[in-house]
Amino acid sequence: MRRCSHLLTFVLLLLATPTVAEELELRTTLLIDSPYFDDARVEQEIVQRIEAGLYEGYKVDLCIDDPSQCDCPLFDKYRQEGEETPILIIKTSEWAELPAPVRDAAIREIKYYTWGHPKRVDSPRDVLIAENPLRTSPLTLLSPHSGAAYLQFIGAQSRKGGLGENAYGPNCWYHAIAAIADSQSRYAQSRLLKPAEWSEPRFMGPVEFRHHMQHFVEVETPQFGDVIRYYTDEPIFDGSRGIANGEKHAAVYIGAESWLDKNGDRQTRPIALTKNGRNELSFLMFQDVAGLDSEYLKPPTSVSAPSTSVPLKRGFFRVKPRSDIQDPAASGEPAVAYDAYMVDTRNMADRWLFLAGLQKPANSGDRFGGFPKEWLTLDVGTTQCRVIATQ
C-alpha cells in the first residue's frame, strides 16, 4: 500500500513538472493583480530607494495614472509648456520637504512605469503555463538564476558606473543569453548546449551580444526559448535610436496566451521575458511582445544618416543544438566571445569611471562625460577591432 502511495506521488509530481515544448500555452494576469505585488511593500521600497538617491534627477510625469489628481493649484508650479502632465525632477535632498500630494503622485508614477497599471496597454504581466496541472511558471524551464532575478532590482555587486539611471547592471542582452545558455536551464539541456555557467549577473555589451548571436539562426515562427532581437544588419552606432553596435534590445520568447473575445474571435497575446534597461530602475519581467515592439521599433527622435540608411529590424533567433556559449567574464579566454567582451569593457571603462565620480569629463555638456571618445567594434570572425563612431 505504501509503495502504491509513493508511486502515485511520483506520478503526480511527474505530471506537474513542466516540459520544454515548442509552443507554450500561457495564462497571464497583470503583474499588479498577481501575488507578487503588495502595494504597501512596494510603496515603502520606492520611498527607501528615493531616499537612498537612486532616483536623483529622475523625471516624474505627475498624475500619469490619473490626471484629475493634479487638478488643483498645488501642481501649477510643476506644469511646463509642451508637457502633457506636470513634471517633477526628483532631488533627494528636497524629497522630504515636498507636499504630501506631490510625493504621493511621484510614488504612483514610479509604480505605473515599473509594476504597471490597468491603463498601460503594455503593462507587465505575471505568467503561468496553462497546460501544467500546477500552473507552473515558465521560469522553471530557464536558468534558476533568471528565476532569482525575476522582479528584483540589481544589487550593488552587479553595478558599474553610478547610481539609479546612471548604473550599468544586468541588462536585456545578458538576461536573454543567460536564461537559455546556463547549464541548469532545462531549455539548454533540451538543446544539448555545452556546459556553461551564467551565475554572476552583469552588464553585457552589444559587441559581445552580437558575437553570441553567431550561435543562433533566424526563424520565421518563434518557439519557447528563442531570442527576440531588435537590431540592424550593420554594427552601427545611432544615439537617436538607442542603437549600439547594431543592437538595441533582446528578450526571450516564452509563448502565447489565447482567448475568445466577446464576438467569439480568437485573440492571441505573445509573451516575452525582458529586462527593459540596464539601470537600477527596472527589473526582469514578463511583457507582451506588442509592448516591446511599440517601444523598440518606434521612429527615431531625430533624423541622422544612420537612421535613414540602415533600417531597424525585429527577428526571432533560435540557438543551434550543441552550441558552446560560455560567459567570458567567468570563463576567460577560452570563451568564444572573450575578445568581444574585452572590446565592450574598453568602450565602457572611462564612462563607468566618470559616472562613479572617479574621472573628469572629456565633454562637460554630455551626460556621459563624452565617453567613450570612440566606439570600437569587433566583427565576428576577425581579431582586429575598428572604430564605428566618435564623440
Task: List the chain pLDDT tens, one digit each, 391 residues.
Answer: 444 444 443 334 334 456 777 789 999 999 999 999 999 999 999 999 999 999 999 999 999 999 999 999 999 999 999 999 999 999 999 999 999 999 999 999 999 999 999 999 999 999 999 977 677 999 999 999 999 999 999 988 999 999 999 999 999 999 999 999 999 999 999 999 999 999 999 999 999 999 999 999 999 999 999 999 999 999 999 988 999 999 999 999 999 999 998 999 999 999 999 999 999 999 999 999 999 999 999 877 655 545 557 899 999 999 999 999 999 999 999 999 999 999 999 999 999 999 999 999 999 899 999 999 999 999 998 889 999 998 7
Last residue of a domain, one of 310, 327, 344: 327
Structural domain includes residue 338: no
Residues 236 and 91 in one domain: no
The pLDDT score that the predictor gives to residue 23 is 86
Residues 140 and 59 in one domain: no
Cell output for 82: 509642451
What single-letter DSSP state applies at residue 196?
-
Residues 48 and 110 in one domain: yes
- For residue 86, the enclosing domain spans 38-114
Quote the distance between the C-alpha of residue 204 and its chain's center: 12
Structural domain includes residue 378: no
Q: Which helix (H) or strand (E) holds 331?
A: helix 328-331
Residues 312 and 288 in one domain: yes
The residue ranges of DSSP E strands in 138-265, in sequence order, are 160-161, 167-168, 216-219, 227-231, 247-260
Structural domain includes residue 247: yes
Structural domain includes residue 53: yes
Position of cell 523625471? 59
Using CA atoms of 55, 61, 65, 68 in order, give the dihedral in degrees to the nearest 10.
130
- Name the domain count of the chain: 2
Residues 132 and 234 in one domain: yes
The pLDDT score that the predictor gives to residue 302 is 59
Structural domain includes residue 306: yes
Structural domain includes residue 68: yes
- Give me the amino acid identity at 3: R
Give the integer Cα–Cα distance in Å for 291 and 28: 15
Residues 90 and 176 in one domain: no
Residues 306 and 212 in one domain: yes
Residues 75 and 143 in one domain: no
Structural domain includes residue 165: yes
Residues 61 and 102 in one domain: yes
Residues 90 and 171 in one domain: no
Give the integer Cα–Cα distance in Å for 348 and 325: 23
The pair phi, psi for residue 388, each rounded to 5°, is: -115, -10
The pLDDT score that the predictor gives to residue 110 is 98
What DSSP letter does each residue of 252-319 carry, written as one string? EEEEEEEEE-TTS-EEEEEEEEEE--SSTT--EEEEEHHHHHHHHSSPPSS--HHHHHS--EEEEEEE
Structural domain includes residue 335: no
Residues 71 and 166 in one domain: no
Last residue of a domain, one of 298, 327, 356: 327
**Residue 215 to residues 96, 211, 225, Cα–Cα distance (Å):** 51, 8, 14
Last residue of a domain, one of 327, 362, 381: 327
Residues 102 and 133 in one domain: no
Say what the pTM is.
Answer: 0.93
Beta-bridge partners for 222: none
